[in-house]
Structure 1
Amino acid sequence: MTSFRFLFSNGVLLQGSEVPPVATFLETHPGAYTTTRTHNNASSILFWDRHMKRLTQSVKILSNSTPQLLSESNRTVNKLVIPSPIDSIPWEPAIRTLVDDSMRKVLPIALNDRNGEEELAVTVLVSVDLENLGESDGVVDVERVKEAVGVHTHVGNYVPREFGVPENGANLAVVGRGRDAAAAKYSDWVRRRKPLEKLRPPSVTELLLSNDGDQILEGCLTNFFVVCRKNNNEAKGTSLLDSASTHSFELQTAPISDGVLTGVIRQLVVEACLSIGIPFREVAPTWSSNDMWEEAFVTT
């Protein structure tokens, strides 16, 4: 399978050797981002609306808390007076318009060049020059936001791992503390996690984060879940496959308030549990109680 890459960046299309791998691009360009892929012979993009909402939410969070993660020019943003409160700025329509336009420019070219029925990986990075917004004399409208926003769309081929192969399972290790501004997905984390990557044992495929070495928050690239036996005498010794023990287990994952990303697949898992009655609790799984775990999995 031939690898190929495309980048539509602020109106300019680059392709082939001109385009760095997505990790390299993210490491060198500040902003909020999201990554998804195509599905069903590239006829649709997985959970696109959810990704756009999460991308917009990340921009809002970073604008309020750590604007320097959205653009190098925002390092002096504390000295600015933005005429509209951050939460009242029309981020979503402005970002969605620019991203949709970018996708219309790059996706047809990538689809035309792909091999056979292979799927595409799509990463959208949004940068925001808040100084530009600060120069406005009145209410910040959609057009003003669009002038301050930069959109970069990176497209490459997606190679899925074969499901059900033991060697393709996740091997995990706890190595570091949780992320700053964890509720947002931002590109600078690609650079910040490099020291953790140096600690990765050879067989480990994902690194987990914990502030105290016991409560597990999330992975560097994933959300972390465990199927845990409930702490009662009736639950002990029962099997997850035993229909009589349906409520002897619960699914656990750290709450957003503990400092984890609102992953798109994480939210789908939560919604599925609530919809079909699977016991679920937002609590950080603890390594000290791993003897109560039936299984664990990650989502990305």
Structure 2
Amino acid sequence: MSQSNRFLCTNGVVSPSPDTPPVTTLLEAHRGAYTTTRTHNNGSELLFWGRHLTRLSNSTKILLTTRPELLFENPDKNGVPFLGFLTRSVKWDSVIEVLVNDSIRKLFPTALKERKCKEELAITALVSGNLEKLSNSGGEFDEESISEFLDVYLHIAGYDPPLYVIRGNGAHLAVVGPGRDVANAKYSDWVRLRKSLEKLRPPSITELLLSNDGDRILEGCLTNFFVICLKDNNEDNNFAEKKGLQAFRSVEIQTAPVADGILPGVIRQVITQICLQIGIPLREVAPSWSQRELWVEAFITNSLRVLQHVDTIQVPESWQSVESKTWKEITWVEKRFEDGPGRITSIIQREIMERAGIETFPVTSLNL
């Protein structure tokens, strides 16, 4: 991605394009809550935009009440003044929506004009607490002025969505380390923290998975993780083989519950609603590597990839070996999925895009 194809708006001020860093550099430089989505339909719509604004607001509130050091720089020095007011009185959803939409109205026309042919745009909104401004206020503020104590960054970059629906474009995954703290909030410090896992990434791996015990798989560093699992009895297994998994009663989708410490991703939420609507059994339980012989399909999701089927998963033969210095010191056990994407995965993928059409957020709604 070329430097000229990145754009940044900070607190309503658009930066010159050549000065815009990659989004990972921006996230490493500023603590806060963030969300990332993209356009679709040739840059004309924002993917699940309303859900992303809600997720950004929720993450901000969670960090503020449980881990303010992940929202503010150096909050332990004097604490976070007026924390009670901020957590009880502020309507965060409306505050975040106004601030972010104001930034996107200012930045999006430029990004759209510079967009390459057939390219989509990746959009990241980051909300950071400004402790210095908050401390200097002396408590003299109301809800209308709370935005003065937040720094809002909006980053837009070109994004060329891969065609994951075809064979050969599946994900290759490796389980390499434990789950993260405060996983129910999406926060920028995770970009820095996950770097320690990179030393265990084999060259062919496209996403790293997290597990606390080497058996129950939680999520990816950047994605939520799902498997389609045969129900554990011979009658259903034989039925599924004969019918090509067309009968939903022979299988279930498994994905770790939020209570296990995973990010409640936007696409994950959409899939849960889809399964309930069309009758595909979904059980919120961390997929168990020891039961992998029952896995017939797997996929990962986030708002850039949307859904990508899985071709292979690697897990260390010994969980203690994740303390190794490099991936070369680990003996891996592999699970391979043939001929992906599978039938159930394809159904879910199609339903997601249909739901995106129902929840469409046209760029014209921003009154650019």
Taking structure 2 as the reference length, the TM-score comes to: 0.76
Counterparts in 2 of 1:127 and 1:165: CA distance versus 1, 3 Å: same
Deviation at 1:7, TM superposition (A): 0.4
Map of 2:232 onto structure 1: 231
Instruction: Assess if the C-alpha contact under 8 Å between 2:6 and 2:20 holds in 1.
Output: yes
The alignment partner of 2:145 has SS state of helix
The alignment partner of 2:228 has SS state of strand
Deviation at 1:43, TM superposition (A): 1.3
Q: Which runs of 5+ in 2 are unaligned?
A: 303-368
User: Aligned residues, how many?
Assistant: 299
Work out the CA distance in 1 between the residues paired with 2:280 and 2:78: 46
Work out the CA distance in 1 between the residues paired with 2:84 and 2:291: 50
Map of 1:268 onto structure 2: 270
Map of 1:152 onto structure 2: 153
Deviation at 1:90, TM superposition (A): 1.5
Matched, 1:106 2:86: no
Instruction: Assess if the C-alpha contact under 8 Å between 2:89 and 2:143 holds in 1.
Output: no
Counterparts in 2 of 1:208 and 1:86: CA distance versus 1, 3 Å: same
Q: Which runs of 5+ in 1 are unaligned?
A: none
Map of 1:121 onto structure 2: 122
AA in 2 matched with 1:12: V
Taking structure 1 as the reference length, the TM-score comes to: 0.93
Higher mean Cα deviation, 106-115 or 158-167?
158-167
Deviation at 1:155, TM superposition (A): 0.6
Instruction: Assess if the C-alpha contact under 8 Å between 1:31 and 1:128 holds in 2.
Output: yes
Deviation at 1:82, TM superposition (A): 2.8
Counterparts in 2 of 1:169 and 1:93: CA distance versus 1, 3 Å: same
Work out the CA distance in 2 between the residues paired with 1:88 and 1:294: 49
The alignment partner of 1:30 has SS state of coil
AA in 1 matched with 2:62: I
Map of 2:294 onto structure 1: 292
AA in 2 matched with 1:16: S
Map of 2:215 onto structure 1: 214
Instruction: Assess if the C-alpha contact under 8 Å between 1:83 and 1:137 holds in 2.
Output: no
Map of 2:357 onto structure 1: none
Counterparts in 2 of 1:77 and 1:161: CA distance versus 1, 3 Å: farther
The alignment partner of 2:291 has SS state of helix
Identity %: 54
Work out the CA distance in 1 between the residues paired with 2:150 and 2:175: 36
Work out the CA distance in 2 between the residues paired with 1:5 and 1:244: 44
1:60-101 C-alpha deviation (Å, 9 max, x unpaired): 110011111112142336463434261442211111111111
Instruction: Assess if the C-alpha contact under 8 Å between 1:67 and 1:77 holds in 2.
Output: no
What pairs up with 1:46-195 in 2 under 5 angstroms? 46-76=47-77, 78=79, 80-84=81-85, 86-129=87-130, 132-133=133-134, 135=137, 137=139, 141-195=142-196
Instruction: Assess if the C-alpha contact under 8 Å between 1:207 and 1:219 holds in 2.
Output: yes
Work out the CA distance in 2 between the residues paired with 1:94 and 1:192: 29
Higher mean Cα deviation, 239-248 or 152-161?
239-248
Instruction: Assess if the C-alpha contact under 8 Å between 1:91 and 1:142 holds in 2.
Output: no
Map of 2:198 onto structure 1: 197
